[in-house]
A = this chain, B = another copy of it.
Amino acid sequence: MAEKISGAVITRLPRYYRYLGELLEEGIDRISSRELSGRMKVTASQIRQDLNNFGGFGQQGYGYNVANLYDEIGKILGIGLTQNMIVIGAGHLGQAIANYTNYGKRGFVIKALFDINPDLAGYSVNSAPVYPLSKLEDYLKENDVKIAAICIPKTHSGEVAKRLTAAGIKAIWNFSHLDLDVPDDVIVENVHLSESLMKLSYKLNYESEKK
């Protein structure tokens, strides 16, 4: 990969991966960009253009081998690497994430949760223990974890993000309503649910009648 891949392309990759997974389940072993285009409601051209950022996975006159393309995109996305995670905040959202078993199937393993509330320490969620936040640095010294999900109020998330990156965390999945300020080599992926709901509200009130 010579040049930097655009964000728009990366955002679409997991969706390709999902559709290829569905095709596999349906027992379909080859697909053309045109057929996939019909299912995914994107242009065939965009599919070919996107995939060719990473290599020529198809074959003229044949199309793409589903299993092969699924694997290749999986590799690009780092699926199957076994990537350990921790979750900060064992409240509703933190527990929902820790309980969701599909992440594990993709290699994302939640090893522990951390909460400031001492009453939660000692519990475990989906066999991942909940530790007091004070144990964070010790834990990260002893365990190979690069990804942390932040599921605590914005009043605390800035401070916690600082501690996480200081302790070696390289990627933050951020559910709090704050744009985290992290070192250059740390990835932040935001999930701002309230903003998603406002977008829905905008569309509901201004766009739906026009269609």
Contact = CB atoms under 8 A, between A and B. Distances in A.
Interface of A: 1, 4-5, 10-11, 13-15, 17-18, 40-41, 76-79, 81, 83, 91-93, 95-97, 99-100, 102-103, 106, 108, 146-147, 170-171, 173, 177, 179, 184-187, 189, 191-209, 211
Contact of A198 (B79, B186, B197): B79
A10 B17 CA distance: 27
Contacts of A187: 200, 203-204, 207-208
* Interchain residue pairs A-B with the least CB separation, the first 4: A92-B96, A14-B195, A189-B200, A78-B201
> Quick one: copies of this chain in the complex?
2
B18 A171 contact: no
Contacts of A77: 198-199, 201-202
Contacts of A14: 192, 194-195, 198-199
Q: Which of A106, A185, A194 has the most CB of B within 10 A?
A: A194
Given A92-B92, A96-B92, A191 B202 contact: no
A145 B102 CA distance: 31
